[in-house]
Structure 1
Amino acid sequence: MLPTVRSFSLLFVFFLVVSLAFASESDHKYQPDDPVTLWVNKVGPYNNPQETYNYYSLPFCQIAANAAHKWGGLGEVLGGNELIDSQIEIKFQKNVDKASICEIELDAAKVKQFKDAIENTYWFEFFMDDLPLWGFVGELHPDKNNDNKHVLYTQKNIVVKYNGDQIIHVNLTQDNPKPLEVGKSLDLTYSVKWISTNITFPRRFDIYLDYPFFEHQIHWFSIFNSFMMVIFLTGLVSMILMRTLRNDYAKYAREDDDLETLERDVSEESGWKLVHGDVFRPPRNVVLLSAVVGTGAQLAMLVLLVILLAIIGMLYVGRGAIITTFIVCYALTSFISGYVTGGLYSRSGGKNWIKSMILTASLFPFMCFGIGFILNTIAIFYGSLAAIPFGTMVVVFVIWAFISFPLALLGTVVGRNWSGAPNNPCRVKTIPRPIPEKKWYLRPSVVSLMGGLLPFGSIFIEMYFVFTSFWNYKVYYVYGFMLLVFLILIIVTVCVTIVGTYFLLNAENYHWQWTSFLSAASTAVYVYLYSIYYYYVKTKMSGFFQTSFYFGYTLMFCLGLGILCGAVGYLGSTLFVRRIYRNIKCD
């Protein structure tokens, strides 16, 4: 748990978030023989990325109690990082052939800890000048007998490339494996070699980017395929709907028909025109609908803003920079959720706007908090670094209470006064019209479930790259691709929801508001189903801890995605419905 002073210092770091995201704490410049700190971070099973522990939870060389800790900000703590000074002596441009770190006396408990770690393929992470180094604790030798098949790497070879007075690249290799035997002592050693390079400082992170994976031909093909889907879908929607509506307008606008034709049209008249007196009737549970639509509008703007900042600022470079930026941008965009909610709730005739505002400000954060609380309890039970310290929770709560909540309140007030006046094209009738029975595929539940298929198809391939990046140690950096896919998702969602809404209205069902929201939100259901497939087929994760974190984080992501897509679908359908009823004669 973080000390109180450090906890509140994170709050100060929040106000300096721009410098956190786009700059570092130092200038990364060294003079010959200047000390260079090697920070140890975490250790854990390689196949379980979130199951990480303090490096010294294994009986490596113990450090002094006053060893320096490095806290890189809110996002780094939430990301499960805890950097501790290894106290290994390294100086800039000074080679070390071989030096001792410490000597470990192996007893039964230490041998058991190391053997368990080796059997579970434990890896560790170091940092030097904000550059990561990775290695495995040891390995198994299957050709040896059961007692001596576990070997521990005792020699760490660090190769550092530098350009002038700046460190460009670091690499770690290990050798001199020693068997683990009770009563024996192991001398842990290290070496450091400095090599000059011509690579410039701005390009030093390129080595961590997997260009062949992310820029594979299939990635480009998926973008092109999704783009063609957008063109086809928007063209199809425009052609079918505009042509159909034009015919409907012409039929309903005829005034010079003879009596027989008019009577025939009236007897055959059906479709969206008949529900003009109910289509703008306030939906059921308008408080909740207003809250989720407002929250979804905020999330859509948040995602767009974070992607743009990532493209401009290369946020993948800094530890936890994406998380920090996401939290700050969420707080600052809370005005949007309040504005959309306030306007929608007021136009629907709602009177309890304070309840609507509180629900909007707390809906998504408290859902995430509920899931996070369960995961945090599991992490604390396991003693993992994934456990969020209490002080960090306080900081996040302060950000929500003093920035996000007031902005949501302000947005609600502005939305009620600026866009809250009812201006429906058609008057709502006093008695609701009965909804006739229709075929099974025109039921709201079926329309809602089928509505997410095409939007999911447009982001299917990108989901694979995002999941692989998050769960398989790859640095995601192709935010230009993500921006295109996000825009494609928005367009496809709007088009599909409009089609579903039109079919529903043609079936004389005027409960289109929740159907349009759920139709678009069902995209998240298919993403979650895909995540189940990905877990069992594409990963080697195991254990209750990692399984809980995988499905918990995925549920949190899908809830946000569902609310985002649902809001986009609802807002698109609202514009469509208002547009088609604006040009008819409402009795």
Structure 2
Amino acid sequence: MKSLKQVAIALTAFPLFCSAFYLPGVSPHDYEKGELVTLNVNTLSPSSSQQVKSVISYDYYNEKLHFCKPPKGMQEQAESLGSIIFGDRIFNSPFELKMQQDTACQLLCETEPIPADDAKFINKVVTDGYAMNWAVDGLPAATEDLDEHTGEKYYNIGFKLGTTYEDVPYLNNHYGITIHYHVTNRNLNRVVGVVVKPFSRATDTTSENMCADKAEPFHLKEDGKSTVVYTYSVNWIPSETVWATRWDGYLYVLDPSIHWFSLINSIIIVLFLTGMVAMILLRALHKDISRYNAVDAQEDVQEDYGWKLVHGDVFRPPNKPMTLAVLTGSGVQLVVMTGVILVFAVFGFLSPSNRGSLGTMMILFFMIFSCTSGYTSARLYKMNGGEMWKMNMILTATLLPGTLLGGLLGLNFFLIYSNSSGAVPFGTMMAIAGLWLVISFPLSIAGSYVGLRKPRIEQPVRTNQIPRQIPDQPTYLRMLPSIFMGGILPFGAIFIELYFIMNSIWFHRIYYGIGFLFLVFGVLIITCAQVTVLMCYFHMCSEDYHWSWRAFLTAAATGFYVYAYSFLYYFTKLNINTFTSTVLYFGYSSIISVLLAIMTGKVQLAIFRVFTF
């Protein structure tokens, strides 16, 4: 009893010797009363509650926009690699916010006469529904909305550059800034919420109250003589929200039942397929493979039928084994990278407060896990009797990264042509190429070397010298119908979550369902493996033993359906009417679909393990 009491006392006292820590980039900033709080400005992004009209973002200080500039000059803020890749361009601003000091009406600046072409550009940007993106103490400025079902308030990131009424654009030139702050135990202040309510007002600088609410809305004339007067007001409101939960309002889930419906739908598909696969494995495969190993060449023991007739051809090397090995290795690399990133995100290491962390980790893990690509590719290529091992090593290290970088580089030229802020600077592209050369390429070569040094994987069944003739196949078991038929179920398991992800990408919203995404990702991999096992078994029952490529393509068909869904999304959710935006949308959609196809196609490894064990 005495020892138990001592242990209890030690456990009670243990927290006294512990100290908390914050993740890099997300530690709180304490402000004293009257201390300057920095307001940074980010790019203008297309935004709409209904249909997006463009996918091109613009720098806040684009010369055509004529926004007020800081009196001491523009200073670009330090950004992570991922932040730059995803189009963030953060600068300081001329706004002066002092903790707990309200400002009723402050003149920001009055522009010079705006040229007619620039005025047309501003009005078009307003008509297209662009939104402004600010950040105060790392928190994005937002508009406050109300959930109709629960009555709770939540934040929508960004606020409109202007409004359109009866086809007339009105530019917002007054900003009502409301900042919520929390007072700590040390009587210091922390920013926990930023709300901006923009107004369009025909401001008269000679008036005593130039921020009058009754002023007429401001329309920028395209005569080359009009000027814009920008004003703002600041209101500080104390809040009970603590710093640790200040992102809850931004990550508010409007209707979580949709995510649960998606997850339950996916689980039902998995359970159905699991039952079918288990029945096949327990009643057929294991027993038959054991019998063939024992009987070997005795054909008169039992009359064979179905897939048993082709047991001597199942492990015949496929056509183009190098291409299959390289694609499978790249798929393993993508699966491992995605799985690790989702684990980090679930545990909160990729917080949205640490801007660009997701993109940075994606690039870093993609390069680090290139070793898995090289190892897997080398093992499969050696198993299939490949002899051009040097070519295999080079292709594994360069095919996917080179194709990916080439596609992004081509789309980057369209961004440069449109003067978009999303265009990746040349220096950043060279830095990524340098990281690939220093990290990814050597690791891939090393993985291939280790894989080639391993002994060749022995097949459990001897392969016949003479290939068996394949009989005519039913229509539903031929190449294209069976592949497209197999890809429907994996796509059905993810399409609801895919809708939210695409909304996050093209409507510039924060995706908040990381936990759901992690579970759906697991369901996707399991579904692809099970569907592929079933389709391969049906093919072999029909005496078609060419399973390797079909296994890869059956699961990879998920990427085809995702690309087809991008067309439906384009015509129903977007209202893009420019050639550049259309090319960018379908270009990025094709890259995403190809990566998903390679990632899901790698489950043919699981098929191989099923046949070998």
Contact 2:46–2:508 (8 Å) recurs in 1:
no
Please give the alpha-carbon distance, in whole angstroms, between the structure 1 residues aligned to 2:400 and 2:472.
36
TM-aligned CA deviation for residue 51 of structure 1: 0.8
TM-aligned CA deviation for residue 384 of structure 1: 0.2
Residues 339-371 of structure 1 show CA distances to partners (whole Å, capped at 9, x for unaligned) of 111211122222222211221122222222122
- Asked if residue 285 in structure 1 is aligned to residue 320 in structure 2, the reply is yes
TM-aligned CA deviation for residue 242 of structure 1: 2.8
For residues 151-550 of structure 1, what are the structure 2 equivalents within 5 Å? 151-164=170-183, 165-175=189-199, 176=201, 177-181=217-221, 182=223, 183-213=225-255, 215=256, 217-245=257-285, 266=303, 269-312=304-347, 313-418=349-454, 420-550=455-585
TM-aligned CA deviation for residue 241 of structure 1: 4.4
Please give the alpha-carbon distance, in whole angstroms, between the structure 1 residues aligned to 2:325 and 2:289.
31
- Asked if residue 551 in structure 1 is aligned to residue 606 in structure 2, the reply is no
Please give the alpha-carbon distance, in whole angstroms, between the structure 2 residues aligned to 1:397 and 1:516.
33
Contact 1:79–1:320 (8 Å) recurs in 2:
yes
Structure 1 pair 64–287 and aligned structure 2 pair: CA distance change class (3 A):
farther
Structure 1 pair 29–517 and aligned structure 2 pair: CA distance change class (3 A):
same
* Aligned residue identity for 2:517: M
Equivalent residue number for residue 112 of structure 1? 120
Mean alpha-carbon deviation: is it higher for 552-561 or for 170-179? 170-179
Contact 2:253–2:512 (8 Å) recurs in 1:
no
- Asked if residue 122 in structure 1 is aligned to residue 130 in structure 2, the reply is yes
Q: TM-score, normalised by structure 1?
A: 0.87
**Could you list the runs of 5+ residues in structure 2 that have no partner in the other structure?**
1-21, 142-157, 184-188, 202-216
Please give the alpha-carbon distance, in whole angstroms, between the structure 1 residues aligned to 2:290 and 2:407.
54
Query: Aligned with 2:408: secondary structure?
Result: helix
TM-aligned CA deviation for residue 96 of structure 1: 1.6
Query: Aligned with 1:171: secondary structure?
Result: strand
TM-aligned CA deviation for residue 162 of structure 1: 1.0
Equivalent residue number for residue 56 of structure 1? 61
- Which of the pair is proportionally richer in helix? 1
Mean alpha-carbon deviation: is it higher for 298-307 or for 173-182? 173-182
Contact 2:61–2:69 (8 Å) recurs in 1:
yes
TM-aligned CA deviation for residue 536 of structure 1: 1.0
Contact 2:139–2:353 (8 Å) recurs in 1:
no
TM-aligned CA deviation for residue 97 of structure 1: 1.7
- Asked if residue 573 in structure 1 is aligned to residue 592 in structure 2, the reply is no
Contact 1:444–1:504 (8 Å) recurs in 2:
no
Mean alpha-carbon deviation: is it higher for 186-195 or for 510-519? 186-195
Residues 137-193 of structure 1 show CA distances to partners (whole Å, capped at 9, x for unaligned) of 222342xxx9xx443222111111111221111111122332324434442111111
Equivalent residue number for residue 153 of structure 2? none
Equivalent residue number for residue 40 of structure 1? 41
TM-aligned CA deviation for residue 71 of structure 1: 2.5
Please give the alpha-carbon distance, in whole angstroms, between the structure 1 residues aligned to 2:390 and 2:375.
13
Equivalent residue number for residue 9 of structure 1? none
Identity of aligned residues (%): 36
Q: TM-score, normalised by structure 2?
A: 0.83
Residues 13-41 of structure 1 show CA distances to partners (whole Å, capped at 9, x for unaligned) of xxxxxxxx942177422222222221121
Query: Aligned with 1:72: secondary structure?
Result: coil
Contact 1:99–1:189 (8 Å) recurs in 2:
yes
Structure 1 pair 151–485 and aligned structure 2 pair: CA distance change class (3 A):
closer
Structure 1 pair 549–364 and aligned structure 2 pair: CA distance change class (3 A):
same
Structure 1 pair 254–60 and aligned structure 2 pair: CA distance change class (3 A):
closer
Please give the alpha-carbon distance, in whole angstroms, between the structure 1 residues aligned to 2:343 and 2:265.
23
* Aligned residue identity for 1:364: L
Size of the alignment, in residue pairs? 543
Structure 1 pair 445–188 and aligned structure 2 pair: CA distance change class (3 A):
closer
* Aligned residue identity for 1:210: Y
**Could you list the runs of 5+ residues in structure 1 that have no partner in the other structure?**
1-20, 580-587
TM-aligned CA deviation for residue 505 of structure 1: 1.8
Please give the alpha-carbon distance, in whole angstroms, between the structure 1 residues aligned to 2:286 and 2:396.
39
Residues 239-287 of structure 1 show CA distances to partners (whole Å, capped at 9, x for unaligned) of 14432447857997999xxx9x959x54xx3332232332222211111
Query: Aligned with 2:518: secondary structure?
Result: helix
Contact 1:210–1:474 (8 Å) recurs in 2:
no
Mean alpha-carbon deviation: is it higher for 65-74 or for 393-402? 65-74
Query: Aligned with 2:173: secondary structure?
Result: strand
Structure 1 pair 283–141 and aligned structure 2 pair: CA distance change class (3 A):
closer
Please give the alpha-carbon distance, in whole angstroms, between the structure 2 residues aligned to 1:253 and 1:561.
38
* Aligned residue identity for 2:514: Y
Residues 101-144 of structure 1 show CA distances to partners (whole Å, capped at 9, x for unaligned) of 111233442433332222222322111111112232222342xx
Query: Aligned with 1:211: secondary structure?
Result: coil
TM-aligned CA deviation for residue 388 of structure 1: 0.6
TM-aligned CA deviation for residue 291 of structure 1: 0.7
TM-aligned CA deviation for residue 494 of structure 1: 1.0
Contact 1:379–1:387 (8 Å) recurs in 2:
yes
Please give the alpha-carbon distance, in whole angstroms, between the structure 1 residues aligned to 2:73 and 2:294.
88
Please give the alpha-carbon distance, in whole angstroms, between the structure 1 residues aligned to 2:593 and 2:537.
27
Please give the alpha-carbon distance, in whole angstroms, between the structure 2 residues aligned to 1:246 and 1:382.
60
Structure 1 pair 421–62 and aligned structure 2 pair: CA distance change class (3 A):
same
* Aligned residue identity for 1:171: V
Contact 2:484–2:557 (8 Å) recurs in 1:
yes
Mean alpha-carbon deviation: is it higher for 202-211 or for 467-476? 467-476
TM-aligned CA deviation for residue 545 of structure 1: 2.6
Structure 1 pair 467–115 and aligned structure 2 pair: CA distance change class (3 A):
closer
Contact 1:316–1:477 (8 Å) recurs in 2:
no
Structure 1 pair 547–318 and aligned structure 2 pair: CA distance change class (3 A):
farther
Query: Aligned with 2:44: secondary structure?
Result: strand
TM-aligned CA deviation for residue 93 of structure 1: 2.2
Please give the alpha-carbon distance, in whole angstroms, between the structure 2 residues aligned to 1:201 and 1:48.
36
Query: Aligned with 1:441: secondary structure?
Result: helix
Please give the alpha-carbon distance, in whole angstroms, between the structure 2 residues aligned to 1:331 and 1:254.
46
Contact 1:67–1:87 (8 Å) recurs in 2:
no
Contact 2:379–2:451 (8 Å) recurs in 1:
yes
Residues 409-455 of structure 1 show CA distances to partners (whole Å, capped at 9, x for unaligned) of 1111111223x413112233333222222222222333222211111
Please give the alpha-carbon distance, in whole angstroms, between the structure 2 residues aligned to 1:538 and 1:545.
18
Q: 1:68 aligns with which of 43, 63, 75?
A: 75
* Aligned residue identity for 2:239: T
